[in-house]
Structure 1
Amino acid sequence: MASGVLRLVSTFCSMVLDDANVSSRFYMAAHELAENITKYSTGPRVSLELALEEAESACVMKIRARNEASPERLREVERRLLTLKSADDPVKHYDALICETAMVEGVSGLGLARVRAEGGLDVDYSIVGNELTITAHAPIGRWRVDEQPKA
């Protein structure tokens, strides 16, 4: 299922974005979020949304992942996300996580840090009950929809 979703993300990005670098950053974020959904969801309700929204000064691309998770997992992901969001230097934070988790088997927790460090995307989250929503987003340059002639 995740590979099909990723193909859709890739197709969407190639249709609306002029910049292959921006497309690859959002593809990577979608990959990391889809992987988290499939690994850590405890229920059948999952979603991965991709949106291109017009803001006052720029267009913003957003990828939003939702899933249900155990209370223990929610506490752990919230701890990681608070640390990630408060990191002054996302690349240094990512590098430190790589060193910390290099010898640990199982869960590395690198995916969201990678989205912020390598992808340059902001990461927000919310937890309501047992549902986790993670949103990766960034302003983008021009998008192709603006360039299409009006009928």
Structure 2
Amino acid sequence: MASSVLRLVSSFCGMVLDDESDSSRFYMAAHELVENLIKHSSGPEVSLELALEEGDGARVLAIRARNEASPERLRDVERRLSALRSASDPVKHYDELIRETAMVEGVSGLGLARVRAEGGLDVDYTIEGNKLTIIAHAPVARWRVDEQLKG
């Protein structure tokens, strides 16, 4: 099912974004978020949403991943995301996480740090009860709709 969702994301990005680099960054972010949904959901309710938004004079593409998680998982992800958001240098933070987890077998916890460091996307989150929403977002240069409106 993950590959079907990612094909849909790739098609969506290809249709609406006018920059292949933007498409690649958002595909990578969606891939990491889908992996997290598969690995860490504790209930049947999961969703992945892509939204083109206008705000503060910029056009933004946002990917929202929602799922239910155990209290332990929510504490862990909140700790990781808080550290990620407060890191002044996302690449340095990512490199440190790679060194810390290099010898840990199983879960690396690098995906969201990769989204911020390699993809240049901001990563936000909300926790309401046992529901976690992670939002990866960034401005995009141009949407294909710009060209359609000119024509």
Question: Is the structural similarity TM-score above 0.5?
Answer: yes
The residue type paired with residue 8 of structure 2 is L
Tell me which residue corresponds to 1:123.
Answer: 123
Identity level (%): 78
Tell me which residue corresponds to 1:114.
Answer: 114
The residue type paired with residue 138 of structure 1 is A
Tell me which residue corresponds to 1:21.
Answer: 21
Q: Measured at CA, do residues 150 and 90 of structure 1 come closer, stay the same or move farther in structure 2, by a change above 3 Å?
A: closer
The residue type paired with residue 131 of structure 1 is K
TM-score normalised by structure 2 residue count: 0.97
* Cα distance in 2, alignment partners of residues 7 and 52 from structure 1: 18
* Cα distance in 2, alignment partners of residues 58 and 81 from structure 1: 24
Q: SS of 1:63's equivalent?
A: strand
Tell me which residue corresponds to 1:41.
Answer: 41
Tell me which residue corresponds to 1:32.
Answer: 32
Q: Measured at CA, do residues 93 and 150 of structure 1 come closer, stay the same or move farther in structure 2, by a change above 3 Å?
A: closer
Tell me which residue corresponds to 1:74.
Answer: 74
* Cα distance in 2, alignment partners of residues 104 and 149 from structure 1: 51
Structure 2: tracts of 5 or more residues without a match: none
Q: SS of 1:92's equivalent?
A: helix
* Cα distance in 2, alignment partners of residues 118 and 29 from structure 1: 10
* Cα distance in 2, alignment partners of residues 144 and 54 from structure 1: 14
* Cα distance in 1, alignment partners of residues 149 and 75 from structure 2: 49
- Give the superposition deviation at 1:149: 4.0
Q: Measured at CA, do residues 60 and 149 of structure 1 come closer, stay the same or move farther in structure 2, by a change above 3 Å?
A: closer
Tell me which residue corresponds to 1:2.
Answer: 2
Q: SS of 2:123's equivalent?
A: strand
The residue type paired with residue 88 of structure 2 is D
* Cα distance in 2, alignment partners of residues 149 and 25 from structure 1: 25
Tell me which residue corresponds to 1:91.
Answer: 91
The residue type paired with residue 72 of structure 1 is E
Give CA deviations for 1:66-118 in whole Å, capped at 9, x if unaligned: 00000000000000000000000000000000000000011111000000000
Q: SS of 2:6's equivalent?
A: helix
Give CA deviations for 1:34-67 in whole Å, capped at 9, x if unaligned: 0000000000000000111122311100000000
Please provide the CA RMSD for this pair.
1.2
